[in-house]
Chains A and B, each alone.
Chain A
Amino acid sequence: MAHIHLGEGSFPLWALVLWTTLGVALVSAVVYRIRKGGIETHQVALAGIGAAASFAVFQLNIPVWGGIHMNLTGLVGVLAGPLLGALIALVVNIFSAALGHGAVGLLGANTLVNATEAVVAYYAFKTLLRMDWDVFPAGASAATLGLSAGAVLMGVIIVVSGVNGSALPRGDLAVAVAGLVGLNLGVAVIEGVLTGFVVQFLASVRPDLVGVTDRAARGESTGVTA
């Protein structure tokens, strides 16, 4: 998750409409694909409880730079896949907005950002595993890549939209937003490393969850126990 959500009222009305439309289009496409393929009960259960876990994990304060919170969106993408990952991102955003984190009006924009993180993390993880990377570096790199893509997209959304009430030209706004993107990229690396350790832990106890069953026999123990 790009840790700092876009705040309510930040963008002019046209941008709110634009990002909401794009967010609805993305979610509609995902729902269409899922319905067309026929959703299984276990997928609904996994997505529902995965979203609950992602939402709950946000409560944990990670003591970096005075305290950061993470939803492990990259991990959600790796575990649930791109389609369910995108829906989980939406549901987590809805619940987060209800508790004052994020924005009701910018659910579309925040979902685009977080779905990007889950989707990129999923495909990066699969690609790196095919390249025979170990689980930890693959998980850490995939999550970092996904979260970085989300952070950059978030910066792009702000620059394209412009800040409500600001007379600053887009070029200067890009400079102003660079700090926010940089902060999110820093958090992406931390969350990426943490995700790598979590994926490594999961691979050691339930390799089927991260798709490394065939490697389990030759993999070494992480030394991490539940």
Chain B
Amino acid sequence: MTTLSNHVPDPRLVTAVAEHGDGPLHRVNPWTKVGTVGALVLAVTVFDRLVLLAGLYVAVLVVYGSAGLPYRRLLGWYTLPLLFVVSVAGPLAFLEPGTPVWGAVSTPLGELSVTWAGLVLFAELGCRSLTVVTFALAASMTTRYTHVAYVLGRLLPRPIDQIALLTYRFTFVVLETLEDLVTAALARGANLSEFWANRRLYARILGTTMLSAIERSERLVKSMEARGYDGDITLYGDVPRPPALELAVVVGSYVLVVGYAAVAVYEVGL
């Protein structure tokens, strides 16, 4: 997709890899992946040492690679998560109290220096963020459409589940519309490289995308009601419970993380 951004994962690519891939992670139960995401979120929140966080990140990277997923694209997809890390941890690298790395630089605001503690904090935040981002992407790219829809339908309360299911279904359609509009504008000689000069063109593209989506929703209402929609979009797929081994791994992960947090971080006496 050359017309749209290449540092935001394209849901069509993600779904295509999920549908057609056959790596080891494709065969893992979707509920196991959901459980693992939770354990990773907990781990990156409570782990307090860079070496642990870096180790966890490397382990997740290995899992990502062993699933046959593309590392090269991952670098581009890291742009947005890293923006938060740079925006927050960047200034903190200078402000964090500690020993300066290279010595202080005089500025009109006073002496400025990157401290070792600031650098460690930057690396820690990077590892925390990228660990879950990498696994979330790996899980998304190895879980089939019907399984994602089933999990969404089971996890979310009504009507959020209905909204999420329609969102998932129609994201691909709306993306096609958006891409067609951009392609058509470019084919007619439009130059999208400058925002302000093309603000009305951008508004036209985005407005038409929204309008097309709303009009599609109006048609959808008729078809939903014609089929007797009563607040429930029926899902025909099924995701079984995870096998005992996978369940044991997930439970073990939580035990390890909670145990580490209790003993090493919160110093709970045994």
Contacts and interface: CB of A to CB of B under 8 A. Distances in A.
Interface of A: 4-13, 16, 27, 31, 34-35, 39, 41-42, 44-53, 55-64, 67, 69, 72, 75, 79, 87-88, 90-92, 94-95, 97-101, 103-105, 158, 163-168, 172-173, 175-177, 179-180, 183, 190, 193-194, 197-198, 200-202, 205-206, 209, 223-226
A105 B221 contact: no
B216 interface: yes
Contact of A44 (B163, B195, B204): B163
Given A48-B162, A52-B166, A75 B5 contact: no
Interface string B253-270: 000000001000000000
13 contacts: A7-B85, A31-B157, A35-B158, A42-B217, A51-B167, A59-B8, A64-B195, A98-B139, A167-B96, A167-B97, A176-B88, A180-B84, A209-B211
Given A87-B163, A168-B92, A198-B210, 6 more contacts: A8-B133, A44-B224, A53-B210, A59-B8, A61-B4, A165-B125
B37 A197 contact: no
Contact of B128 (A10, A183, A201): A10
Binding site secondary structure of chain B: helix
A61 B163 CA distance: 26
A66 to B, nearest CB: 10
Contact of B92 (A27, A49, A51, A166): A166
A9 B160 contact: no
B162 A177 contact: no
A42 B218 contact: yes
Contacts of A225: 204
B117 A194 contact: no
B200 A7 contact: no
A183 B84 CA distance: 11
A98 to B, nearest CB: 5
B91 to A, nearest CB: 4
B84 A197 contact: no
A21 B46 CA distance: 18
Nearest to A60: B4
Interface residues of B, number: 97
Contacts of A4: 80, 83-84, 87
A62 to B, nearest CB: 6
Nearest to A53: B213
A57 B170 CA distance: 13
B204 A226 contact: yes
B247 interface: no
A186 to B, nearest CB: 12
B109 to A, nearest CB: 10
Nearest to A68: B195
B192 interface: yes
B203 interface: yes
Binding site secondary structure of chain A: helix
Nearest to A105: B41
A56 B169 CA distance: 12
A175 B95 contact: yes
Contact of A52 (B89, B167, B202, B224): B167
Interface stretch (B20-28, B174-182, B234-242): B174-182
B137 to A, nearest CB: 5
Contacts of B165: 48
A7 to B, nearest CB: 4
Nearest to A38: B231
A34 B96 CA distance: 46
A133 B217 CA distance: 29
B67 interface: no
A171 B102 CA distance: 25
Contact of A163 (B121, B159, B216): B121
Given A8-B41, A16-B45, A101-B8, A168 B221 contact: no
B184 to A, nearest CB: 11
A67 to B, nearest CB: 7
Nearest to A179: B91
B174 A200 contact: no
Nearest to B89: A163
A90 B160 contact: yes
B214 A209 contact: yes
